[in-house]
Amino acid sequence: MRKEQTYILLACLFAIVLALRLYFAFASPYFSDAESYFHLRHIESIKENIFPLFYDPLSFSGRLFIFSPLFHYIFALLTSFGSPWYLTKIIPNVFAASLLLIIYFLVEYITKNRPIALFSACVSAFTPIYFVETVNALSPLALTIPVTFLFLLCFYRIQQRAYATLAVFLLCFLILLSPTSLLLLFGLAAYLFLQRIYDIPSKKEEKEFIFFSLILAFWFYLLLYKRALLDHGINILWQNIPTQLIDKYYYNITIISSIYHIGIIPLLFGLIVIYYILFKQQEEQRKNIFPIVGITFVTTFCLWFKLVEWTIGILYLSILLVILSGYGYMLFHNYILKTKIRGWSNIIFGIVFCLFILSSILPTLYYSKERIALTITTKEVLFLTFLPEMTQESDIILALVDDGHYIEYFGNRKVVADSNFIQIHDTKQRLRDIETVFMTKSKTIATRILNRYNATYIYVSPSAKRLYDIEFLPYEDNDCIALVYTGEVRLYKSTCSVKGD
C-alpha cells in the first residue's frame, strides 16, 4: 500500500470516527457524567477570574481542593473562541479521535507495515470503553490518552535530539495533566527491568530519560498533593473514596468484562503477542515491543490489585492491547504467508475484520447509545436551574453523591457531598448519613442528620429514586420536612432542629 493511499484512508477514517463521535455527543445537550460539570465549573471560573476554584465554596459546603489545572486552562483558552457549548462537545472528541492517528504512526514504527498500522488505528478508534468514556464527557482522559501515546512515539525515537526535546515537553505536559501519567512512567521502568531480565542492552538515553521522568513526576506530585498525602497517607491511591463506594470505582478485572470493554480482537492478539514476546521471540524483535509490554504489565498489575481506578486502567490497557494486537496480527500474517494457506490471507483478514466489527464496532455503538440515554434529563436540569430562585444562597442541599456536581453547576448551591473525596475527613460518615436520610422512616433521625450538616433541603433525583426504590420520602409532612417541589425530581425543605444525639 502506498504512503499517499494510506494517508487518504487514515484521513477518511478520522473523519468517519469524528462524525460518529459528534453524532453521539450532540444527541444530548448535556454531558453524560457529573464529573464533566466539575471540570466545566473550573473552566468557567478560569474564564472569569483567571484561577480555578481551588477553594470551592459549594463542594462539601466549602472545601479546599488542590489539583493540577492544566486541562482546565487549555479548555478555558480553546473555548474562548466560540460557543462553549459547541466547543466543549467538539474539542474533546477531536482530541479523542486523534488517538487513531497516533496509533497509526506508533504501530507503523513498530511493525513497519502500513496496512496493519491502519487496521490498528481503526481498532483503537472503536475500542468500546475508550469511545464510550470520551464521547460525551468533558474529561481529561480525552487529552491524556492521545498525549500519552504521542509521548511514547517520541520515546521510541529518543536518540534524535528533536524527539528528545519533544518527549521532555510532552512529559511535563502529561504530568501536569493527570496523575495517571505515573502508569506510563512505571511501565517504562518495568521496560528497563524486562530488558535486564532478557539481557538486552538498554539505550543510555532511555535509561536517563526514564530516571529523570520518574524523579520529575514524584517531585511534582509530592509537592502538589503534599497536604492530601499527609492527610490520607498511602490511601491517596484510592482517592479517599469511602469504603461504601470503593467497589464502584475499583473492581475486579475479569475476562468477560475485558472482552466487553476492549473487544475480542485486541484482547486475543494482544495476549498472544505477550506470550510470543516473552517466550518465543529473538532479542532484536523484542526490543521494539518491550516498552508497550512493560506498560501493559504495570497497568494489569495495578488493575489486578485495584491500585488504579477501573475505568482508567482498562482504558489504558485497551489501547495498549490494540498496539500489541497490531504487532500480533503482523506475526500472524507472516506465519500465514509461510503456510500452504497463504493464498487465503485476504479471506482470513476479512474474517478478522468481521470479528472486529462484531466485537468492537457494534458494542461501541450500543454502549454509546446506552450512555447517552443515562444523561441527566432536561426536566432535571430545568429544575436545578430554578434552584437559585427557590433557595437562599447559603442553603445546603443533601443529595446523592452522584448528583453533587449537577447541583453545584446548574443550581449553584452548596451540597453535603459530591464525588471528590480527597482531603475530606468524614467521607464515610457523610455517605452513611446520606443513605440514612433516604432510607429512614424516622423524621427525627433525618432532621438530626440534616442539622449536623446545616442542610436545609433534600434533593431526590431520578437516580436516587431508582437507587433507593422510593417515590417520596416516608417521613415527609407539612411541618418539619415539607415537600416544596414535585415532578420528575422532588425537593424537601427541613425547618426543624433536634437537640441531642
Binding site for another protein (CB under 8 A): 164, 168, 204-205, 208-209, 211-212, 215-216, 218-219, 222-223, 226, 229-231, 233-235, 429, 452, 499-501
Nearest distance in Å: CB 110, another protein:
23
Nearest distance in Å: CB 382, another protein:
38
Nearest distance in Å: CB 295, another protein:
21
> Whose CA is closest to 56, among 349, 407, 352?
407
Nearest distance in Å: CB 231, another protein:
8
Q: Which is nearer to another protein, 338 or 499 (CB)?
A: 499
Residues 137, 34: Cα–Cα separation, whole Å: 9
Residues 138, 151: Cα–Cα separation, whole Å: 22
Nearest distance in Å: CB 311, another protein:
23
Alpha helices (H) in 139-232, listed in sequence order = 141-156, 161-177, 181-197, 204-224, 226-232
Q: Which is nearer to another protein, 221 or 410 (CB)?
A: 221
Q: Do β-strands 490-494 and 414-415 pair in parallel, antiparallel, or remain unpaired?
A: unpaired
Nearest distance in Å: CB 204, another protein:
5
Residue 55, strand partner residues = 64
Element holding 400 (H helix, E strand): none
Q: Which is nearer to another protein, 200 or 214 (CB)?
A: 214
Q: Which is nearer to another protein, 160 or 495 (CB)?
A: 160
Nearest distance in Å: CB 218, another protein:
6
Contact of 13 with 126, CB cutoff 8 Å: no
Q: Which is nearer to another protein, 215 or 373 (CB)?
A: 215
Nearest distance in Å: CB 222, another protein:
5
C-alpha cell at 446: 433525618
DSSP 253-310: --HHHHHHHH-HHHHHHHHHHHHHHHHT--HHHHHHHHHHHHHHHHHHHHHHTT-S-H
Q: Which is nearer to another protein, 218 or 344 (CB)?
A: 218
Our measurement of the distance from residue 371's CA atom to the centroid of its chain's CA atoms, rounded to an integer in Å, reads: 14
Half-sphere CA count of 164, side-chain side, radius 13 A: 12
Q: Which is nearer to another protein, 172 or 381 (CB)?
A: 172
Q: Which is nearer to another protein, 356 or 453 (CB)?
A: 453
Q: What is the 8-class DSSP label of residue 484?
A: E
Residues 370, 249: Cα–Cα separation, whole Å: 19
Nearest distance in Å: CB 208, another protein:
5
Residue 486, strand partner residues = 490
Nearest distance in Å: CB 188, another protein:
14
Q: Which is nearer to another protein, 200 or 216 (CB)?
A: 216
Q: Long-range contact list for 81-88, CB < 8 A, 24+ apart? A: 84/43, 84/44, 85/29, 88/31, 88/40, 88/43, 88/138
C-alpha torsion angle, residues 218, 220, 224, 226 (rounded to 10): 40
Residues 396, 390: Cα–Cα separation, whole Å: 12
Nearest distance in Å: CB 233, another protein:
4
Phi, psi of 400 (to 5 degrees): -60, 150
Nearest distance in Å: CB 498, another protein:
10
Which segments of 47-185 are extended strands (E)?
55-56, 63-64
Q: Which is nearer to another protein, 205 or 395 (CB)?
A: 205
Nearest distance in Å: CB 456, another protein:
19
Our measurement of the distance from residue 38's CA atom to the centroid of its chain's CA atoms, rounded to an integer in Å, reads: 14
- Interior angle at CA 188, CA 186 and CA 190, nearest 5: 70
C-alpha cell at 52: 480555578
Phi, psi of 250 (to 5 degrees): -120, 105
Element holding 250 (H helix, E strand): none
**Interacting residues of 242 by C-beta distance below 8 A, sequence separation 6+:** 421, 427, 428, 430, 431
- Interior angle at CA 461, CA 243 and CA 457, nearest 5: 85
